[in-house]
Amino acid sequence: MKKIAILGSTGSIGAQALDIIDGHSDQLKVTVLACAKNIRKLCGQIEKYKPEIVVVHQEKDARQLSEKYPGVEVLYGTEGLIAAAESSYDLLLNSLVGILGLIPTYHAVCKGRDIALANKETLVAGGQIIMDQVKKNQVKMLPVDSEHSAIFQSLQGNKHQQLERIYLTASGGPFRGYTPEQLEEVTVEQALRHPNWHMGSKVTIDSASMMNKGLEVIEAKWLFNVPVSKIQIAVHPQSVVHSMVEYIDHSIIAQLGAPDMRVPISYAFGYPDRMENNAEALDLFGAGAELTFERPDTNVFKTIAIAYEAAEKGGTYPAVMNGANEALVQLFLEKKIKFTDIQNTIERIMNAHVPTYNLGLEEILEADRASRKMVYELLK
Ligand SMILES: NC(=O)C1=CN([C@@H]2O[C@H](COP(=O)(O)OP(=O)(O)OC[C@H]3O[C@@H](n4cnc5c(N)ncnc54)[C@H](OP(=O)(O)O)[C@@H]3O)[C@@H](O)[C@H]2O)C=CC1
Ligand SMILES: CC(=O)[C@@H](O)[C@H](O)COP(=O)(O)O
Ligand SMILES: [Mn+2]
């Protein structure tokens, strides 16, 4: 029986992970469930999966859950997430959203625990410290992000030194083909309407601004140990080819499928085996019949150029970019700023940033906090 700890169990990835576990209850057992404040949904999960540990955001919720479920260890806050990450299990699915995810990933890899990583912000902000510990402790870092799972699958059985290029596919989001003027006018409701994927609100806005692809370029750099100059974004509106790897002989290996996160999640859960799941099969003669690719428009979507530059410069730049983006996405969702304020403000913050290098976890979290503070100061 493989014991799975799920941080972010009430979210989009968390729910799809539980769907896979439901289909394999003879092989997979949930030991940890964690969320912020969706207590009603969490209670249903506790009753169904009977975890050993539960983590919530607030102490008052933890107290109530402790009384309701006396057999469960109920923890709260960041300390609770750390204790859960250091508890006993076989695989940690980190499906938290945002920089918060870096903290339990870091503590888990320091303990030598294997990770199924959905939380891309972990590697964007903390790639160096995470991958150092992954190497030191021989951790399996299994990508869940669909493109990175596709790359990981396309790398199986091939030699890293014979890799020529990664093609990271992007849907282009709901504003593909927009002019800068059109982008100025878009609403929260439009930005939340992703053409192909149903996801949490933060990653959906990131897809619309294409910052998601910028974050994924940095995530791929760390996961696959490749310079970002070898990572090419390919806009592919059908989201059928989930990414590709080109080798020195000009063979390109890709992973295809209907856009359904249960495929990469089940691959991470079963690796190196494949697991049956409830994902929709790709209809090659229907939705999969037309596959198109185009270069991204980096003049309209400035987030892409910003992310490549942050990756090249390193140090605190990626954490600052990520922190600013998180704060700005939240403000946009609250309808306090315009959509284009996201990329314009990140650009200003990155231009003004004075970096530091050789970072530990605390320095990264401090860079994140300083960047968020700057967002609020600039938009005051
Ligand atoms: N959704 C998708 O298809 C994909 C997502 N990803 C990445 O996976 C990650 C998760 O995305 P997604 O599932 O969409 O996000 P959601 O917003 O749907 O879910 C986030 C989860 O994190 C929990 N959470 C948030 N804050 C805290 C906190 N302070 N303490 C404990 N738990 C907390 C939420 O709890 P609560 O419900 O209580 O708020 C929820 O369970 C992101 O990094 C995203 O970029 C990557 C590829 C695809
Ligand atoms: C499903 C997934 O992995 C998302 O990160 C996806 O990549 C979003 O689609 P975009 O290609 O529009 O960013
Ligand atoms: Mn993705």
**pLDDT tens readout for residues 196-218:** 999 999 999 999 999 999 999 99
Query: Which ligand is closest to the CA of 95, given by its number?
Result: 1
45 CA to middle of ligand 1, Å? Answer: 16
As a whole number, mean pLDDT of residues 217-243 equals: 98
* 184 known member of a binding site: no
CA of 312 relative to ligand 2 center, distance in Å: 23
The 10 Å CB-count burial string (b at 16+, else e) for 95-129 is: bbbbbbbbbbbbbbbbeebbbbbbbbbbbbbbbbb
290 marked among binding-site residues:
no
Q: What is the mean pLDDT of residues 219-242?
A: 98
The CA 116 to ligand 3 mean position distance, Å, reads 14
Encode burial over 239-264: b for 16+ CB neighbours within 10 A, e otherwise: bbbbbbbbbeeeeebbbebbbbbbbb
Q: What is the mean pLDDT of residues 166-190?
A: 98
Task: Say if residue 380's pLDDT is above 90.
Answer: no
DSSP class of residue 337 equals S
pLDDT band at 289 (very low <50, low <70, confident <90, very high): confident
Residue 46 structure tokens: 């506790």
Per the prediction, the chain carries an average pLDDT of: 97
ipTM surpassing 0.95, yes or no? yes
Q: State residue 31's pLDDT score.
A: 98
Q: What is the pLDDT of residues 152-171, one digit of tens each?
A: 999 999 999 999 999 999 99
Ligand nearest to the CA of 42: 1
Q: How far apart are CA 345 and CA 99, in angstroms?
A: 19
Ligand 2 centre distance from Cα of residue 344 (Å): 22
Q: Does the model's pTM come out above 0.90? A: yes
Q: Is the CB of 203 under 6 A from ligand 2?
A: yes
Protein residue with least CA distance to atom 21, ligand 1: 8
What is the average per-residue pLDDT within 33-46? 98
Which residue is closest in CA terms to ligand 2's atom 3?
Answer: 146
Q: Is residue 50 classed exposed, middle or buried when 0-12, 13-18 and 19+ CB atoms within 10 A define those classes? A: middle
Please say whether the beta carbons of 310 and 321 come within 8 A. yes
The DSSP code for 294 is B
Q: Tell me which residue has its CA closest to atom 5 in ligand 2.
A: 145
The SS3 of residue 75 is strand
Over range 342-371, report the average pLDDT.
98
Determine the distance separating the centroid of ligand 1 and the alpha carbon of 97, expressed in angstroms.
Answer: 4
Q: Strand 252-256 vs strand 91-94: parallel, antiparallel, or unpaired?
A: unpaired
In the chain the domains, ranked by start, together with CATH numbers, are 2-143 (3.40.50.720), 148-259+279-308 (no CATH), 314-380 (1.10.1740.10)
Mean pLDDT value across residues 58-74: 98
Among candidates 135, 86, 92, which has minimal Cα distance to 268? 92
pLDDT band at 286 (very low <50, low <70, confident <90, very high): confident
pLDDT at 37: 96
Q: For 359, which DSSP code?
A: -
Q: Is the CB of 197 under 6 A from ligand 2?
A: yes
pLDDT at 209: 98
Say whether pLDDT at 288 is over 90.
no
CA pair distance 244, 252, nearest whole angstrom? 6
